[in-house]
Amino acid sequence: MPHPFRWAPADGERHASLDPAPHTGYPTGLVVKTLCERQLQVETGDIPWLWNTCPACDAKAHEIAQKPVPPTAGAR
């Protein structure tokens, strides 16, 4: 079953949102409320998808998905 959140590149990071989105994802310029409690304007294209993930959105997304956050490579 898919998770209720969608990933949305915005403000230089990949954020996640529970806002409804079309099947193709959020369009450029749409303002969404992110899991880190910010209102951000979505950016699309190849480069934004390569941005780092917002740590707060990542933690909340893992919580919603009921999956633990994996340890960082240096923490092993």
* Average pLDDT of the segment spanning 9-18: 97
Q: What is the pTM of this model?
A: 0.86
Beta carbons of 60 and 18 less than 8 angstroms apart: no
Higher-scoring residue by pLDDT: 12, 73: 12
Does residue 69 form part of some domain? Answer: no
- Distance, in Å, from the CA atom of 22 to the CA atom of 31, rounded to the nearest integer, reads 14
- Mean pLDDT for 39-46 is 96
Whether 1 is covered by a domain: the verdict is: no
Q: Does residue 71 sit within a domain?
A: no
Encode pLDDT of 44-76 as tens digits: 999 999 999 999 999 999 999 998 877 776 655
Residues of the domain holding 16: 6-64
- What was the pLDDT predicted at 74? 64
Q: Within a domain: residue 56?
A: yes
Q: Could you give the percent of the chain with pLDDT greater than 70?
A: 93
Asked if the structure places residue 76 within a domain, the reply is no
The pLDDT of 27-44, averaged and rounded, is: 97
Q: Is residue 75 part of a domain?
A: no
Residue 14: CB atoms within 10 Å: 17
DSSP conformation class of 34: B
Residue 52 domain-assigned (yes or no) = yes
Task: Tell whether 41 is covered by a domain.
Answer: yes
Total structural domains in the chain? 1
